[in-house]
Chains A and B, each alone.
Chain A
């Protein structure tokens, strides 16, 4: 089933692989999501985590409420102007590599709240990998998004993380 099934069972045996495939396999099967639930979509997110849909099947057993240990940011719900700096700080605090899912119409585009106090899509200010449409999306949509993230992780390469492009990640430490 896993990698070990490739091993020869009658003693000895070895296998050859690439660092990328081992690392990506490990990463994609143990994503630690950081839930950022600010409104109704978060309820659907919780439902996806509960026993009926059970996201643990995909390796995301543990919700990480500390951004330092998370590698997947789940933005579920509308983000007001006072919350955006908080969200950005959380994004900065997550360690590389990291991925972002924007759940629902509000997080992706502001939804029906086209008002002075509402961010019109978090992707204006932080990078988003997968958008989930719906108000709120069904857990199936959310699982689909999760599997898309797994696919992204699979296609990733450790070579991508050699050198930082800019030092925005370090800025956090300098300013504090």
Chain B
């Protein structure tokens, strides 16, 4: 019942923005177009029947070489929770590889700050109007986006590129036979 309410509420207001909506093993998922995400999120947050006041998680998915065809290569996923009504909702926003831009939801949920920074450094997705969009975990001069499927697991050379320190003093004694 509650599931239907959530779907109906969004559909009523933003019917052209919805690509798909389904329920999978109890998880309610709504797939959205990328242009008006901020507006819809604001609605979900402020509407008195939904009141999704908590952004539990924000991450992205790379669908490169995924077994089932997907509309676009990347999807940004929002996990929302409503403390008032105990609703859970997953929002999926597909974004094409050529234009990796999306509006930041920092203005609604402050917790999006670090989550968006992490998504930015790991997938290279830019969040417009984010107050401080720079790398969170990786070194600042790191090249590449490690959580993309086409990034080699062993990296592209960063871990091998450190200065090599030798002993400042002669250490021939180390080669002596022990005992």
| A binding-site residues for B, Cβ under 8 Å | 81-82, 84-85, 88, 91-92, 96-97, 114-120, 124-127, 129, 148, 151-152, 155-157, 160-161, 163-169
Report if B171 contacts A (CB, 8 A). Answer: yes
B167 with A155: CB separation less than 8 A: no
B178: nearest residue on chain A (CB-CB)?
A151
| B binding-site residues for A, Cβ under 8 Å | 137-139, 142, 146, 151-156, 158-160, 162-174, 176, 178-179
B155 with A117: CB separation less than 8 A: yes
Given contacts A81-B139, A115-B153, A116-B146, contact A160 B173 (CB under 8 A): yes
A168 with B153: CB separation less than 8 A: no
Distance from B137 Cβ to chain A, minimum over Cβ atoms (Å): 8
Could you say which of B151, B166, B169 has the most chain A C-beta atoms within 10 Å of its C-beta?
B169
The one of B154, B162, B169 that contacts A85, using a Cβ cutoff of 8 Å: B162
CA distance A148 to B172 in the complex (A): 16
Provide 29 A-B residue pairs closer than 8 Å at the C-beta atoms, listed in order of the A residue: A81-B159, A85-B162, A96-B168, A96-B169, A114-B153, A116-B158, A116-B159, A117-B146, A117-B155, A118-B159, A124-B162, A125-B163, A127-B166, A127-B171, A151-B178, A151-B179, A152-B173, A155-B176, A156-B173, A157-B173, A160-B170, A160-B172, A164-B168, A165-B166, A165-B167, A165-B168, A165-B170, A168-B165, A169-B168
The one of A81, A88, A125 that contacts B158, using a Cβ cutoff of 8 Å: A81
Top 4 closest pairs, chain A to chain B, by CB: A116-B155, A169-B168, A125-B162, A126-B165
A116 with B168: CB separation less than 8 A: no
CA distance A152 to B52 in the complex (A): 64
Distance from B140 Cβ to chain A, minimum over Cβ atoms (Å): 10
Given contacts A116-B159, A117-B159, contact A168 B139 (CB under 8 A): no
The one of A81, A119, A120, A165 that contacts B169, using a Cβ cutoff of 8 Å: A165
Given contacts A85-B162, A116-B158, contact A127 B153 (CB under 8 A): no
Distance from B173 Cβ to chain A, minimum over Cβ atoms (Å): 5
